[in-house]
Copies of this chain bind each other. A is one copy, B any other.
Amino acid sequence: MDPKAQNAKDPLVLFMPSGRRGRFKKGTGVLEAARQLGVYVESVCGGRGICGRCQIEVQHGHFAKHGITSAADHISPLGAKETRYAEKRGLLDGRRLSCSATIEGDLVVDIPRDVQVNAQIVRKAADTRLIDRNPAIQMCYVEVEEPDMHKPLGDLDRLKLALERDWGFSDIMIDQHLLPQVQGILRKGEWTVTAAIHKDMETARPSLIALYPGLKNEAYGIACDIGSTTIAMHLSSLLSGLTIASAGISNPQIRFGEDLMSRVSYVMMNPDGQEAMTRAVHIALNGLIEEVCAESGVDPLDILDAVFVGNPIMHHLFLGIDPTELGGAPFALAVSGAVHSWASDLDLALNPGTRVYMLPCIAGHVGADAAAATLSEGPHRQDEMMLLVDVGTNAEIILGSRDRVVAASSPTGPAFEGAEISCGQRAAPGAIERVRIDPETLEPRVRVLGVEPWSDESGFDLLSEKTGVTGVCGSGIIEVIAEMYLAGIISEDGVIDGALAGKSERIVKDGRTFSYVLWEGETRLTITQNDVRAIQLAKAALYAGIKLLMDKQGIAHVDRIGLAGAFGSFIDPKYAMVLGLVPDCDLDKVKAVGNAAGTGARMALLNRDYRREIEQTVTAIEKIETALEPKFQEHFVHAMALPNKIDAFPELEKVVKLPAKTVSEPSNDGPTRRRGRERRRQRG
């Protein structure tokens, strides 16, 4: 029945928030109308009024914008099924069961996106984004015919018939592990069961992956971002979309190598290196599964779907693939497309039928995590030109809009993470994270992680006794160097001005160059000329990669910047721009987007349409290999200057007064050292 073919006198129904609308004959069920319009409304019991998943809210009044006036009698009065459900389970005021309510006049129907039927499951505060649901798992309650000697169809075969009759699934496959259980479950449920059906792609046959006696009104999934440093996991209800627990842990592979390339080296040097690292990450994941399940009271056997993202090396090691090829040109991925697998094949302690979906990788250095971040931030869904940057040992860079998206990775090295910096350290209590330098006195003020006041505010000394002041973390390094530049301590080509040594004791001679003393205490923390150089190299590599993508897009200006990951969450966009990590942009449109990879993974978990979207997007993304682009070197050289030798920063200068340019050649050691790092990466 095509809604558009309906008579103009039939009631008009508008579903929100999707905005889909259509005319339906009076007496049409609201759930039926939603289905016809392609509005996703959950229902486990198939319209029997027992699962309560199909709740809606009806708005009454005059909606001029939509040309709809809705009165109380435009929807059927509370029916027997609803009354029974409300008595048994409770139904919030104004809520209706769409499987029971029928259309009796023009209606505006709200689909609440957080229908919750299990009171004990509390919504996680961290869950900020509600995701439209269309999960790959569908819970289907059916009543199965009892065995009949006249029609000797098997129990499973009658179950399949019921699933076809009530839910339209034909040609269902069944997991081997369920075969021995079907008879017992059917009898325990007295010929009513809830089948968990997995259907990801439209072209795939549906699979029966789990079976429960009677009504099973909940199913869960996990979304997981396997980072080189941290593994983060979210547990979500596949039926409400809510995230109900989250947990994170250090990646235990760190003991095999701090950064990615050292882990690849470990595999190359140790015959069982890959197996050991794969096992380590599987064990860590099982620990996280236990943790999120303990936190939420969910049985791991009720987790039926799992989505994983990670950079290419984490992706390969998770799948048990030797990452050696990723350690050298041509950086060949074993598999770039999305991976469909089984949790049991990956030694995950979930239901034996649980499926695993891994997002596609974009290129040898631009992984499934970057794909997930893309899915989350959606440059491909925007008219504006968006730059999405995830800074780690390699920076993953995505630039594009609705028309075209390009991607690259740039070998920034670990300087932004505090490695290669003399006073660098991880973001942990005691680390300097914020810095301000007085341009007159050159005296710094700092803020330390774990200590609320700034160093010149009262209480700092007392409070910092516990943590100490032990080093400078990534965001602190960005700020101190940017502030040194703004205070005139370093020139735009990155040289610490030794002439200032006479003006301030903070400037000290250090061999043939000068250093800036950021902190004098139990530990003396200085920013050396080499530290400045390391940051210049890293930021030049990042900027050159971005610039290359801007060339490909033929643009000189980006509309919007998303800074992803932990680094992106803590740096101040202004200082990132002062240093020239990112190009000029309206500072209001530069945003930390947090763990965008994790959000993208959750989207793919809760809605299989997002899987297709990112698969198609990744196929369409143009991958730029920086090592093969002659212009990369040129951009790199220009980007060594602060903020940049040739690019202007008019938007930034509305907010910050940049020092005047001097006339000096850019440092020349950059490309050489960068090439050295590139060679190391190629040697793996």
Contact = CB atoms under 8 A, between A and B. Distances in A.
Given A147-B332, A333-B154, A335-B156, A322 B183 contact: yes
A147 B319 CA distance: 20
Interface stretch (A63-71, A170-178, A587-595, A634-642): A170-178
Interface stretch (A102-110, A361-369, A513-521): A361-369
Contacts of A362: 152
B176 A335 contact: no
Contact of A333 (B155, B319, B363): B155
Nearest to A366: B152
Interface of A: 147-157, 160, 171, 173-174, 176-177, 179-180, 182-184, 201, 203-205, 319-322, 325, 329-337, 339-342, 345-346, 361-364, 623, 625, 627-628
Given A332-B147, A342-B176, A154 B337 contact: yes
9 contacts: A148-B330, A149-B627, A149-B628, A152-B331, A155-B333, A156-B335, A174-B335, A180-B319, A180-B334
A150 B205 contact: no
Given A152-B336, A625-B149, A325 B179 contact: no
B335 A154 contact: yes
B346 A176 contact: yes
Contact of A336 (B157, B180, B203, B332): B157
A319 B152 contact: no
Nearest to A147: B332
B203 A204 contact: no
A156 B337 contact: yes
Contacts of A337: 154, 156-157, 160
Contacts of A205: 203-205
Copies in the complex: 2
Nearest to A183: B334
Contacts of A177: 345
A628 B336 contact: no
Contacts of A174: 335
Given A180-B322, A203-B205, A322-B180, A332 B150 contact: no
A339 B151 CA distance: 19
B149 A331 contact: yes
B330 A154 contact: no
A321 B148 CA distance: 20
A183 B330 contact: no
B625 A173 contact: no
A182 B319 CA distance: 12
A174 B149 CA distance: 41
A180 B321 contact: yes
Nearest to A321: B180
Given A335-B155, A361-B154, A321 B149 contact: no
A332 B625 contact: no
Contacts of A342: 176
Contacts of A333: 152-155, 157
B150 A625 contact: yes
A165 to B, nearest CB: 16
Nearest to A340: B173
A238 to B, nearest CB: 22
Given A149-B625, A179-B321, A180-B334, 10 more contacts: A149-B330, A151-B623, A154-B336, A155-B325, A155-B332, A156-B336, A157-B336, A157-B337, A176-B341, A205-B205
Contacts of A361: 154
A138 to B, nearest CB: 19
A183 B325 contact: yes
Contacts of A173: 340
Contacts of A340: 173
Contact of A320 (B157, B171, B180): B180
A179 B319 contact: yes
Contacts of A179: 319-321, 334-335, 339, 341
Contacts of A204: 205
